[in-house]
Amino acid sequence: MKLNGKLFGSALIASLGGLLFGFDTAVISGTTRALEQVFELDSFSLGFTVASALIGTIIGSIAVGRPADRWGRRSVLFGIAGLYFVSAVGSALAWDWYSFIFFRFIGGIGVGGASVVSPMYIAEISPAKFRGRLVAITQFNIVFGILLAFFSNYLTAQFVPEATAWRWMFGVEAFPALAFLGLLFLTPFSPRWLISKNRAGEARGVLHQLGVKGEALDAEIEAITTSLDLAHHSLKESFFQKTYLKPISLAIAIAMFNQLSGINALMYYAPHIFKMAGAGESSALLQTIAVGGTNLVFTMLALLVIDHFGRRRLMLVGSVGYILSLGATAWAFYRYGTDFTELGSKVVLVSLLVFIASHAFGQGAVIWVYLSEIFPNRVRARGQALGSFTHWIMAAAISWTFPMIAAQSGGHTFAFYAIMMVGQLIWVLKYMPETKGVPLEEIQKKLGIQ
């Protein structure tokens, strides 16, 4: 089977939810100093302001599962695009701290929803042969969105008056949000969702458009129908039961470890971290762009090899890179404290570039692919929602606490993240099964689910 244009185009459009996810996540990193001044924030209030969007992602990720089952993945993506647009315009025009928090919260709901629905939709339209690469496009676009946010922040800071620069940084997101909304009209419904709604004829037509033909088309319809097994399993059945214990535990573990690496601390506070290590304002923003560029390059490499090397091997490589880079960063902060030399600053920069490369090649590339694969069709939306919910709960905790903990000791902060990644390495070695090249309907059998 070849990768046809309709399949690739639909996956690419759905993955734009990831691009906006990345942009919305990272854009605030260039505004923290302005927000402190404009809204007169202390370290606790700044942490809450940054985490306000993450509170929205928690709600969005856990609330989106049932609407995705009821109205379809594609329909929910339209709503997510609208939330991104409202958040961008509202954050830019915010008249006080409370209104700013509200509109960031709205955007967070969109991010949480996109983290569930975009990879799930792509997984459900993709054959096993291409699934890893196509779902990983979402992660590529998340990373591309992060880089765009860093670059946009840098350009805005150079050419827009300081008093209003932070407003423009948020407002720029409205343009890609509108583009995403318009392009969604070109995508089909998920064939697996259609079959779950007893619309097999429409599902057959969609699969044919996506390149599944002949005997393979009949076999695919039969496999999806069997996996749903609606005669024995209702889509309304309890999710938290012994049957689904293994995928539930895998989803919670991979999502928790993703954030216990400290990745969102770097995404939200990159300029702040580099200034802690002795960089000036402009230099810190440029170094942040270097982080975004490294993230993009290594995500592209992971996307190219994820269906050849497998999810587990990428996680192993990333875990080792995490441990070495975070350990070196912790050492630098213990060694230099608040009195960084040029050498100390370079150690932090290089270590964090290795850290982001390790994340991009490992956890960053794997998490959304893995969460979209390990649950059966009948509970995939709720399973993906649980994984994303866990991810965003941990992201909020890390992002809210980082300013307070880092103010006491940068060394303790990065040492803690390094120790957590030793835990991830052990988990991958002992408990993480491989899903490379296995059809979605076969993965549930591999996990002991009938």
Q: Is residue 157 part of a domain?
A: yes
The rounded distance, in Å, linking the Cα atoms of 258 and 261 is 6
Cα torsion 25, 31, 37, 41 to 10°: value is: 20
DSSP string, 8-65: HHHHHHHTHHHHHHHHHHHGGGGTHHHHHHHTT--HHHHHHHHHHHHHHHHHHHHHSH
Q: Is residue 149 part of a domain?
A: yes
For residue 441, is pLDDT > 50? yes
Encoded amino acid at 175, one letter: F
Q: Is residue 1 part of a domain?
A: no
The rounded distance, in Å, linking the Cα atoms of 117 and 108 is 14
The Cα angle at residue 191 between residues 308 and 228, in degrees rounded to 5: 90
Burial string for 63-82 (b: 16+ CB within 10 Å, else e) reads: bbbebbbeebbbebbebbbb
Query: Which of 167, 165, 236, 141 is CA-nearest to residue 196?
Result: 236
Q: Is residue 155 part of a domain?
A: yes
Q: What is the pLDDT, as a whole number, of residue 281? A: 61
Q: Is residue 265 part of a domain?
A: yes
Q: Is residue 340 part of a domain?
A: yes
Cβ proximity of 392 and 54 under 8 Å: yes
For residue 269, is pLDDT > 90? no
Total number of domains in the chain: 1
Q: What is the pLDDT, as a whole number, of residue 323? A: 96
* Confidence label for 416 from pLDDT (cuts 50, 70 and 90): very high
Residue 330 is part of which domain span?
7-446
For residue 284, is pLDDT > 90? no
The Cα angle at residue 229 between residues 224 and 233, in degrees rounded to 5: 135
DSSP string, 367-413: HHHHHHHSS-GGGHHHHHHHHHHHHHHHHHHHHHHHHHHHHH-HHHH
pLDDT digits (tens, 9 = 90+) for 235-268: 566 777 787 888 999 999 999 999 999 998 887 7
Q: How far is the first Cα of the chain from the last one, in angstroms, to the nearest whole number? A: 28
Burial string for 416-448 (b: 16+ CB within 10 Å, else e) reads: bbbebbeebbebbeeebeebbebbbbebbeebe
Q: What is the pLDDT, as a whole number, of residue 237? A: 65
Sign of the Cα pseudo-torsion (304, 310, 311, 315, in order): negative
CATH code of the domain covering residue 276: 1.20.1250.20
Q: Is residue 153 part of a domain?
A: yes
Of 13 and 120, the one with more pLDDT: 13
* Confidence label for 75 from pLDDT (cuts 50, 70 and 90): very high
For residue 412, is pLDDT > 80? yes
Query: Which of 35, 307, 284, 329 is CA-nearest to residue 169?
Result: 35
* CA atoms within 13 Å, Cβ hemisphere of 269: 27
Tokens of 248: 């539930």
* Confidence label for 30 from pLDDT (cuts 50, 70 and 90): confident
For residue 154, is pLDDT > 80? yes
Of 108 and 372, the one with more pLDDT: 108
Of 151 and 99, the one with more pLDDT: 99
Q: What is the pLDDT, as a whole number, of residue 232? A: 44
For residue 94, is pLDDT > 80? yes
Q: Is residue 2 part of a domain?
A: no
Q: How far is CA 386 from CA 156, 182, 359, 389, in A?
A: 37, 29, 21, 5
CA 381 to chain centroid: 16
For residue 234, is pLDDT > 70? no
For residue 294, is pLDDT > 80? yes
* Confidence label for 186 from pLDDT (cuts 50, 70 and 90): very high
Average pLDDT, the chain: 85
Instruction: Residue 33: count other Cβ atoms within 10 Å of its Cβ.
Output: 15
The rounded distance, in Å, linking the Cα atoms of 166 and 160 is 9
Q: What is the pLDDT, as a whole number, of residue 235? A: 52
Sign of the Cα pseudo-torsion (367, 370, 374, 379, in order): positive
